[in-house]
Amino acid sequence: MGKQLAAVIGVGQTHYRAKREDVSMAGLCREAVDRAMADANVGFDDIDAVVVGKAPDLFEGVMMPELYLSDALGAEGKPLLRVHTAGSVGGSTCNVAASLVQAGVHKRVLAVTFEKQSESNAMWALSVPVPFIMPVHAGAGGYFAPHVRSYIRRSEAPVHVGAIVAAKDRQNANKNPFAHLRNPDITVESVLDSQMLWDPIRYDETCPSSDGACAVVIADEDTASSSPNPAWIHGTVMRTEPTTAAERDQVNPQAGREAAAAIWKQAGITDPYREIDCAEIYVPFSWFEPMWLENLGFAEEGSGWKLTEAGVTALDGDLPVNMSGGVLSSNPIGASGMIRFAEAALQVRGAAGEHQVPDARKALGHAYGGGSQFFAMWVVGADKPV
């Protein structure tokens, strides 16, 4: 039978906030699910299977919460899968849902991801001491700061490039009604004036901790063909390498490079910089924009920061990056990867509202997790893949 075509026909998001104390986890997920199904013009009866993704269960204190959520997600009597691949999980959840359609197993799959960080404490959840395993004392920022320092040293990037990314993403967020952080006055200078947290990462260069959920409906070719604006899936990829190994390069990880090479090949793309119209890249700390631009092959090694500095990645640049405001503006961890994938779909569907890139035809969604070791990506297009 071969691989079947699949497309995103519905996207739903909650408003991302520090604390959503007005809803339960089920209520939070349903906000996103109901919006995605309304967008896709489908009801629960049309859904064949449900795929749930989220980051560590300790973040909410519920073991395998999809079991309790099955009623609220309309999964009763249906196949229900729960994906967990660290920070990349939102992307992986999309990819697993897509594979169910591409394999010809199902026609319409609902994928939903969430995090309700206010239920517990992520810093605590990440800091449980484990024998024989290197502790991540200061949370993710403390883990990644040395990689950023190494990047700056290797690439000889000017130290304000991180602030350019932060100011750009937060300004983009002001155009996104779902974004968590809103700050119309943010500038490169104000970012540089903010407190240093993990040198060289400043407070304003760091992602927030958010409550929120995101959902997508992925459909087969027949269903998608009657949708007014499907986002056709041109390729999906996942790659993994271990956390600690002497031969790893955590600044420019091999898993990311190989994932990028595989996704460009699958999507028939030979020059990503020219052929991709916009990209949502997982940037939880500002400097990861130039780092991932290189890892993804949009720029030569050591020159990603030049694209950022020249304004290429701005909303009106040649290669807009993180039009939604990115992880720097909204970060319900388990959903953060899916939000990137969903934003890529919204762009090629022409449904991104104020932060729409004019005539976006092909977009990349990217997520990473763990110690820069889990990568998930997809390329979506306004046209069917050739």
> Which residues of the chain form contacts with other proteins (CB under 8 A)?
1-3, 24-25, 55-68, 70-71, 75-86, 92, 95-96, 99-100, 102-105, 119, 125-126, 128, 130-133, 237-245, 247-248, 253-255, 258-259, 370-371, 373-374
Phi and psi angles of residue 363, each rounded to the nearest 5 degrees, phi first: -140, 155
Choose between 114 and 178: whose C-beta lies nearer to other proteins.
114
Closest CB 64 distance from other proteins, rounded Å? 6
Please tell me whether the peptide bond between 320 and the residue prior to it is cis, using omega within 30 degrees of 0.
no
Choose between 100 and 186: whose C-beta lies nearer to other proteins.
100
Closest CB 191 distance from other proteins, rounded Å? 30
DSSP symbols for 161-185: HHHHHHHHHHHHHTT-TT-S---TT
Closest CB 82 distance from other proteins, rounded Å? 5
Closest CB 181 distance from other proteins, rounded Å? 25
**In a 3-state reduction of DSSP, which class is residue 214?**
strand
Closest CB 31 distance from other proteins, rounded Å? 17
Query: CA 189, CA 88: separation in Å to the nearest integer?
Result: 31
Q: What is the DSSP letter of 137?
A: T
Choose between 156 and 247: whose C-beta lies nearer to other proteins.
247
Query: CA 50, CA 217: separation in Å to the nearest integer?
Result: 10
**In a 3-state reduction of DSSP, which class is residue 52?**
strand
Query: Residue 189, Cβ neighbours under 10 Å: how many?
Result: 10
Choose between 66 and 204: whose C-beta lies nearer to other proteins.
66
Choose between 176 and 331: whose C-beta lies nearer to other proteins.
331
Residues β-bridged to residue 218: 8, 109
Choose between 46 and 309: whose C-beta lies nearer to other proteins.
46
Closest CB 258 distance from other proteins, rounded Å? 5
Residue carrying the six token digits 């022409």: 350
Choose between 92 and 206: whose C-beta lies nearer to other proteins.
92
**In a 3-state reduction of DSSP, which class is residue 197?**
strand
Task: Name residue 183's amino acid.
Answer: N
Closest CB 212 distance from other proteins, rounded Å? 18
**CB 29, CB 114: distance < 8 Å:** yes
Choose between 67 and 310: whose C-beta lies nearer to other proteins.
67
Query: CA 322, CA 343: separation in Å to the nearest integer?
Result: 9
**CB 262, CB 239: distance < 8 Å:** yes
Query: CA 319, CA 15: separation in Å to the nearest integer?
Result: 26
**In a 3-state reduction of DSSP, which class is residue 232?**
strand
**In a 3-state reduction of DSSP, which class is residue 144?**
helix
Closest CB 156 distance from other proteins, rounded Å? 27
Query: CA 214, CA 343: separation in Å to the nearest integer?
Result: 10
Choose between 69 and 345: whose C-beta lies nearer to other proteins.
69
Closest CB 81 distance from other proteins, rounded Å? 6
Query: Residue 17, Cβ neighbours under 10 Å: how many?
Result: 17
Closest CB 293 distance from other proteins, rounded Å? 20
Query: Residue 373, Cβ neighbours under 10 Å: how many?
Result: 23
Choose between 63 and 228: whose C-beta lies nearer to other proteins.
63
